[in-house]
Amino acid sequence: MENLTHMQAKPKIEVDIWSDIVCPFCYIGKRHFEQALEQAGLSDSVEVTWHSFELDPSAETKPGASIYEELGRRKGWSPEQSREIHNQVTEKAKEAGLDYQFDKTVPANSRNAHRLLHLAKKHGVQDDVKERLLKAYFTDGENIDDYEFLAETGVSAGLAKEDIQSILKNEKYDQEIRQDIEDARKIGIQGVPFFVLSRKYAVSGAQPVDVFVQALKKVKEESGISETDSGDAFCEPDGNC
């Protein structure tokens, strides 16, 4: 990687993250990573790119259906087992400062949400849109495959409504989504979230905050970046979280 320490612009740590909106550990991992950035004094020193990863490309969007029943049917769990597993994930989320409301979760295909994220990347608001989508799915009970919801979400982050409607209607960014998934395959990603720091160090899963801190400090030392003022859990493509 090119050494940028001689330039006037403040060097940035490049962070590539593969993730799916419907992955509960992806939201937990995002929050752990953000907390680690703050602890390491690097909140203003990273450039994050979110990459698409579809846990279940064939998933059907089913407003009114129970996430407990849908995932339980796919995994072969009884309703009681499914609810207990979701309760355990809810507790992990709570430790990260997140409020999961699985009773309200709408089972949905995430392809259109990934399209919106690629549009958001083009306009520099990808992280904002990612956060809004995750909160909508896990806390607010929104249908993340609904066109109107996606349009409102994008507009609230500064995107033009006509641009959002165009990518959804014409199913744009499929090539970019496929490329993200192919890149994941090439580097051996089998579950998400998956973090790559400076194209050199990998952190797999929603690791504890201190694991991210250690990795960030190592990258910081190698990059010559000064401080600013400012679980090993993951989901597999078959929905195994």
Question: Over the stretch 202-216, which tens digit does the pLDDT of each residue have?
Answer: 999 999 999 999 999
Contact indicator for 6, 189 with CB cutoff of 8 Å: no
Backbone angles phi, psi at 44, to 5 degrees: -100, 10
User: In sequence order, which residues have a C-beta less than 8 Å from that of residue 199 and are 6 or more positions away?
Assistant: 1, 14, 16
Return mean pLDDT, the chain: 91
Class of domain 57-200: alpha beta
The pLDDT of residue 10 is: 61
The pLDDT of residue 12 is: 87
Backbone angles phi, psi at 112, to 5 degrees: -65, -35
The pLDDT of residue 75 is: 87
The pLDDT of residue 223 is: 76
Q: Say if residue 60's pLDDT is above 90.
A: yes
For the residues of 110-124, what is the DSSP string, one character each? -HHHHHHHHHHHHTT
Residue 113's alpha-carbon distances to 53, 79, 133, 148, 164, in angstroms, are 11, 28, 8, 12, 11
Mean pLDDT of 186-204: 95
- The tens digit of pLDDT for each residue in 129-141 reads 999 999 999 999 9
The pLDDT of residue 227 is: 47
Backbone angles phi, psi at 18, to 5 degrees: -95, 135
H helical segments located in the chain: 24-39, 67-75, 79-95, 111-122, 126-135, 147-156, 161-169, 174-186, 209-223
Mean pLDDT of 147-159: 98
User: In sequence order, which residues have a C-beta less than 8 Å from that of residue 117 and are 6 or more positions away?
Assistant: 50, 52, 126, 129, 130, 133
The pLDDT of residue 5 is: 41
| Residue 84: both structure tokens together | 């207990």
**3-state SS assignment for residue 10:** coil
Q: Work out the angle between the directed axes of helices 67-75 and 79-95 (0-180°, nearest 10).
A: 110
